[in-house]
Chains A and B, each alone.
Chain A
Amino acid sequence: MRSRSSRSVTEVGQVRPRKRSRVALILAVPVLSLVVPAAAVDIASAGGSGLLTRAAAEVARFLLFYSGVFALVALSAAVAAGLLASDRIVMSPEGRIFAQVMHRTTSLVGISALANHIMLEVLAHRAGIADGFVPFMASRDTFFMGLGTVASDLFVVIIVTGMLRRRFIRGARRQLWRWLHATAYVAWPMAILHGLLAGRHAKAYVDWSYGVCLAAVGLALIIRSVAGLRGRSGGHPVPVRQQMPSAPSTPLPRSYQISPQAPVRALAPGLVELPQVPRRPGDARAAADAWAAADAWASGDALAPADAWANGEAWAPPGAWTGGGAWAPPGTWTDGDNWSEGDGWSEDDGWSERDGWSERDGWPEGDGWSEGGR
């Protein structure tokens, strides 16, 4: 016999939602955006004239030139998509869901490009590591570099809290989250100023484009706040379903007709109690007469008493089934000779001396069963 400790119940067939893969996929984007350029810079700075080195140098140069632009464009798109997603005037709910998805995607792309941008600027020795996080410390372009750092810090906070949005739903934290998220409208113009005025000079159409974007977002913000002040009227109502006519033109099927007491209840719905028809269990049923001795049950005869076993008698409720029916009459039981044999059914064949089954077959005492023994 195996010991009880080695007895174990194998658990199989677990059903779990697939969740981790998606989180990993999302986190892979910023991680890759850091690893790929770092590797490129590393390979390029190792020197040599191989194809790999040249390609790595090109990648590093390209990213150094454009990752800031990508960050700014993506975060601008994120701001615009977020604003669109909150609109109830022109956007349909489906459109708003799409805008939210775009808002998240562009934010993720934007913050990945931002991390990339900061890292490459540091690796290219155009900024110190501290300049990536602490504003107004840069040796050149102090003010506009500082604006970029402030904007970057804010965006990191906004996006991280945005990903943890679910934690902010309860209580007053919801308002805190709103305020935190609204600082995007401060961070974004700072990022634009940084993009246009720190580093190389932008072309005129770029200046114009950002100007138009700023103006459009400002206008949309004004509309949003005004619409918010005017209340919650601008929804997209769900089409009203077909209403039930007050008086049905066609007669209802019989089963749906209203019961006679219904008019009374209609006067005070919910106040008048339902008619409780008291029905004694078994009332007016075929078995009722034969079963009048319900106290036979009450006195505890529901299970066959042990002496009935010993005698091989069938236990049947007194007089209950003599009227016949499908149930076998009591006499049938005595014919079942398998039951009356002395093969363990009679009481003296082992009941009395087999005592304390809790000691048997490794069943530990105090396991909930032991008290069931005698």
Chain B
Amino acid sequence: MTPGLIRIGQGRVTAGLDQRARLDLAAHRAVFGPLPRPTVAQLIAMCERVDLRGRGGAAFPVAVKLRAIQGRQSKGKPVIVVNGTEGEPGSSKDKMLLARSPHLVLDGALIAATALDARQVIVAVAGHGPHVRSVTGAAAADSHLSRLVRVVSVPDRFVSGESGALVNALNGHPALPPGTKTRATDAGVRGRSTLLSNAETFAQLAVLAMLGAAGYASAGDPAEPGTVLLTVSGSVQRPAVVETPTGVPLGHVLDICGAQPSDGVLVGGYHGKWLTADTAYAVPISRRGLAAGSGTLGAGIVLVLGRDSCPLGEVARVAGYLAAQSSGQCGPCKLGLPAVAASLTALSAGAGGMAELAALRAATFGVRGRGACHHPDGTANFVASALDVFAGDLSEHMFRGGCGRATRGILPLHPGSEQRLVVDWTRCEGHGLCGRVVPELIRLDEHGYPRLLDVPVPFWLSRDAGQAVDMCPALALRLTTAEQPPAVPVRQIAARPARPALPAAGPPLTGRIRQDADLAAAASWLAELGGRGPHSDT
């Protein structure tokens, strides 16, 4: 089951994609017309008029960034950075844009570059796949583009896309968030003023410049006009990237995607918040609307959790993933997030009582605001809202030992290639040394036997984990390398017959014009993005 592309109302950033699987430069110009060249003042005015915000999750006003660069102190031409890293496992919209409409994203970057007199555009992507090839091809489509645009790849990790981490990576350092906060607009790539925004933001900027503020504001909620790209997945029949005007009820999108009855809906990704199903169906899709429903729009991720998987187990699994994806730089995050994950694991296993819940709450709220980046805060939001929304499930786990449902892995995670700790239980004698060497990954139960956190060993704990293995007196602990799903060769996909990847029950939903081409392309790029498909659609 691979996500498709669904459009509600008139498509803007997805315009033309019902006609073509990928818009090359000629097709792109045919759809979107010539590249507009507004001055920086005009651009700022337009952005302010429609209140264009960054679409990577932080919703920072684009006009503020543009203004900061316009009035910059530093010497040298500014640099434009398109952040297409999309580290959130639940998000595919930027990859979709880069794969299928790369010139729209580049147009946005070129418009900004022209207005700000920048001489370099850097497109940052993560990993490998069709989106990388597509944007590389687009960047070499004509001589002007190939002079201006450079594509770089950063490690496919959760925090790689944080703006500071990305600037670090582009400056030749490891892609980790910096300890001291500097705005990229003040000192970014090579110390120059840098306009760093998410790929969808640049696509929206291009659409805004093409339509003008009034045209752009003709769709959606007047307070936050325009369209947004959502990535809807989880327990849905039709996982999809959805372009929708703002103000449409989220329940509408959920119905279109065939969401199953659910206990909760996660909005905003793994740094976002859980909503109860009732709230989720009622809130309108906008920053303000979701915030009023105590959610967050974030990067437009909508993950539905059906009734056939254990919510607490799913949350514990994601918390473990987030703990492992931390870069291990800041103490509160390095020790706090594993503690959060361990408490959640214990609770979901039915092994925790009120004391464990209290410890979980203390750990969750203890990490907030105490890291170099937003990672601990976002994770705390995620866990705290889960405790509220899944309170019924939590009480079942605490008093009945479980909810009777298995954890099925509905919430997507990056395919792990890293090492894991494994115990041979027949050999373990409960010496308890491992729990003292890597308390982040191993906690001891009241008999002294280890309770492992089921996450890949993060790179900053690999040495300690190795030491725990070496120190196990019973030789019961070992490190295994999880098998990574083999990368699907490109030729193989091209050779495969176009297969409309649709649920057996539902008829095709992606438009009647050339749906086969659309679906085949969607299927192939998502299959190649790797590992994320097919979660069973139950």
A residues near B (Cβ < 8 Å) are 1-2, 4, 7, 9-17, 19, 22, 85-86, 88, 93-94, 96-97, 100, 165-166, 168-170, 174, 177-178, 232, 235-244, 248, 252, 255-259, 262, 265-266, 269-270, 272-274, 276-279, 281-282, 285-287, 291, 294, 297-306, 314-316, 325-328, 332-333, 335-339, 343-345, 349-351, 354, 357, 360-363, 366-374
Q: Does B79 contact A (CB under 8 A)?
A: no
Centre residue among A93, A174, A240 by max chain B CB count within 10 A: A93
**Contact status A265-B447, CB under 8 Å:** no
**Contact status B513-A303, CB under 8 Å:** yes
Cα separation A17 to B154 with both chains bound (whole Å): 16
**Contact status B19-A12, CB under 8 Å:** no
Cβ contacts under 8 Å, B26 to chain A:
350, 354, 357, 360-361
Interface contacts (Cβ under 8 Å), in number, total 361
Q: Does B160 contact A (CB under 8 A)?
A: yes
Cα separation A4 to B475 with both chains bound (whole Å): 52
B28-36, B266-274, B334-342, B369-377 - the one binding chain A = B28-36
**Contact status A287-B252, CB under 8 Å:** yes
**Contact status B524-A368, CB under 8 Å:** yes
Q: Please list 13 pairs of residues, one from A and one from B, whose beta carbons are closer than 8 Å in the complex, sorted by A's number.
A: A2-B140, A9-B151, A13-B155, A169-B469, A238-B444, A281-B259, A285-B282, A291-B255, A300-B509, A302-B6, A327-B220, A344-B30, A369-B521
Cβ contacts under 8 Å, B293 to chain A:
none
Q: Does B114 contact A (CB under 8 A)?
A: no
Q: How far is the CB of A358 from chain B (nearest CB, A)?
A: 8
Cβ contacts under 8 Å, B518 to chain A:
372
Cα separation A177 to B427 with both chains bound (whole Å): 15
Cα separation A355 to B174 with both chains bound (whole Å): 44
Tell me whether A361 and B140 are in contact in the complex, defined as CB-CB below 8 angstroms, given that A235-B430, A285-B281 are known contacts.
yes
**Contact status B515-A300, CB under 8 Å:** yes
Q: CB-CB contacts of B459-480 with A at 8 A, as 1s and 0s?
A: 1101100100111010101110
**Contact status B6-A338, CB under 8 Å:** no
**Contact status A170-B478, CB under 8 Å:** yes
Cβ contacts under 8 Å, A166 to chain B:
466, 469-470, 478-479
Cβ contacts under 8 Å, A366 to chain B:
491, 494-495
Cα separation A270 to B400 with both chains bound (whole Å): 10
Cβ contacts under 8 Å, A244 to chain B:
353-355, 398
Cβ contacts under 8 Å, B478 to chain A:
166, 169-170
B58-66, B193-201, B242-250, B378-386 - the one binding chain A = B242-250
Closest partner residue, chain B, to A300 (CB atom): B512
Closest partner residue, chain B, to A294 (CB atom): B255
Q: Does B38 contact A (CB under 8 A)?
A: no
Cβ contacts under 8 Å, A248 to chain B:
354
Closest partner residue, chain A, to B151 (CB atom): A9
Q: Does B165 contact A (CB under 8 A)?
A: yes
Tell me whether A13 and B491 are in contact in the complex, defined as CB-CB below 8 angstroms, given that A243-B353, A315-B10, A374-B514 are known contacts.
no
**Contact status A13-B175, CB under 8 Å:** yes
Tell me whether A339 and B22 are in contact in the complex, defined as CB-CB below 8 angstroms, given that A166-B478, A300-B509, A327-B220 are known contacts.
no
Tell me whether A305 and B168 are in contact in the complex, defined as CB-CB below 8 angstroms, given that A269-B402, A360-B24 are known contacts.
no
Cβ contacts under 8 Å, A351 to chain B:
19, 30
**Contact status A12-B475, CB under 8 Å:** no
Cα separation A285 to B251 with both chains bound (whole Å): 8
Partner of A333, one of B10, B23, B25, B175: B10
Tell me whether A15 and B157 are in contact in the complex, defined as CB-CB below 8 angstroms, given that A291-B255, A301-B512 are known contacts.
yes
Partner of A258, one of B247, B354, B395: B395
**Contact status A13-B307, CB under 8 Å:** no
Cβ contacts under 8 Å, B130 to chain A:
368-369
Partner of B21, one of A252, A336, A338, A373: A373
Cβ contacts under 8 Å, B11 to chain A:
303-304
Partner of B401, one of A14, A269, A315: A269
**Contact status B157-A368, CB under 8 Å:** no
**Contact status A298-B507, CB under 8 Å:** yes
Cβ contacts under 8 Å, A276 to chain B:
261, 307
Cβ contacts under 8 Å, A85 to chain B:
473
**Contact status B429-A361, CB under 8 Å:** no
**Contact status B448-A235, CB under 8 Å:** yes
**Contact status B22-A235, CB under 8 Å:** no
B39-47, B208-216, B315-323, B408-416 - the one binding chain A = B208-216
**Contact status B140-A1, CB under 8 Å:** yes
Cβ contacts under 8 Å, A22 to chain B:
463
Tell me whether A177 and B475 are in contact in the complex, defined as CB-CB below 8 angstroms, given that A303-B511, A363-B24 are known contacts.
yes
Q: How far is the CB of B522 from chain A (nearest CB, A)?
A: 9
Given contacts A13-B174, A344-B32, A369-B130, 11 further A-B contacts (CB under 8 A): A10-B153, A13-B170, A93-B431, A238-B432, A256-B394, A258-B399, A266-B400, A297-B256, A299-B512, A304-B10, A306-B18
**Contact status B169-A372, CB under 8 Å:** no
**Contact status B430-A232, CB under 8 Å:** yes
Tell me whether A281 and B258 are in contact in the complex, defined as CB-CB below 8 angstroms, given that A13-B155, A237-B447 are known contacts.
yes
**Contact status A325-B446, CB under 8 Å:** no
Partner of A1, one of B142, B248, B437: B142
Cβ contacts under 8 Å, A94 to chain B:
436
Cβ contacts under 8 Å, B507 to chain A:
298-300
B49-57, B69-77, B131-139 - the one binding chain A = B131-139
Cβ contacts under 8 Å, A235 to chain B:
429-432, 447-448
Shortest Cβ-Cβ A-B pairs, 7 listed: A372-B21, A13-B169, A303-B511, A244-B353, A13-B175, A326-B247, A350-B30
Partner of B511, one of A168, A236, A302: A302
**Contact status A304-B446, CB under 8 Å:** no
Q: How far is the CB of A246 from chain B (nearest CB, A)?
A: 10
Cβ contacts under 8 Å, B215 to chain A:
336-339
Q: Does B405 contact A (CB under 8 A)?
A: yes
Tell me whether A12 and B154 are in contact in the complex, defined as CB-CB below 8 angstroms, given that A166-B469, A235-B432, A305-B512 are known contacts.
yes
Q: How far is the CB of A345 from chain B (nearest CB, A)?
A: 7
Q: How far is the CB of A170 from chain B (nearest CB, A)?
A: 7
Tell me whether A344 and B154 are in contact in the complex, defined as CB-CB below 8 angstroms, given that A262-B400, A269-B401, A304-B10 are known contacts.
no
**Contact status B18-A303, CB under 8 Å:** yes
Cβ contacts under 8 Å, B508 to chain A:
300
Cβ contacts under 8 Å, B252 to chain A:
287, 291
Tell me whether A371 and B517 are in contact in the complex, defined as CB-CB below 8 angstroms, given that A166-B478, A302-B256, A304-B18 are known contacts.
yes
**Contact status B136-A7, CB under 8 Å:** yes
Cα separation A17 to B463 with both chains bound (whole Å): 8
**Contact status B528-A368, CB under 8 Å:** yes
Centre residue among B140, B249, B403, B433 by max chain A CB count within 10 A: B140
Cα separation A155 to B172 with both chains bound (whole Å): 46
Cβ contacts under 8 Å, A279 to chain B:
261
Q: Does B284 contact A (CB under 8 A)?
A: yes
**Contact status B157-A265, CB under 8 Å:** no
Cβ contacts under 8 Å, A345 to chain B:
31
Cβ contacts under 8 Å, B445 to chain A:
238
Cβ contacts under 8 Å, A277 to chain B:
261, 307
Q: How far is the CB of B470 from chain A (nearest CB, A)?
A: 6
Closest partner residue, chain B, to A336 (CB atom): B218
Cβ contacts under 8 Å, A371 to chain B:
21, 494, 498, 517, 520-521
Cα separation A339 to B211 with both chains bound (whole Å): 8
Q: Does B187 contact A (CB under 8 A)?
A: no
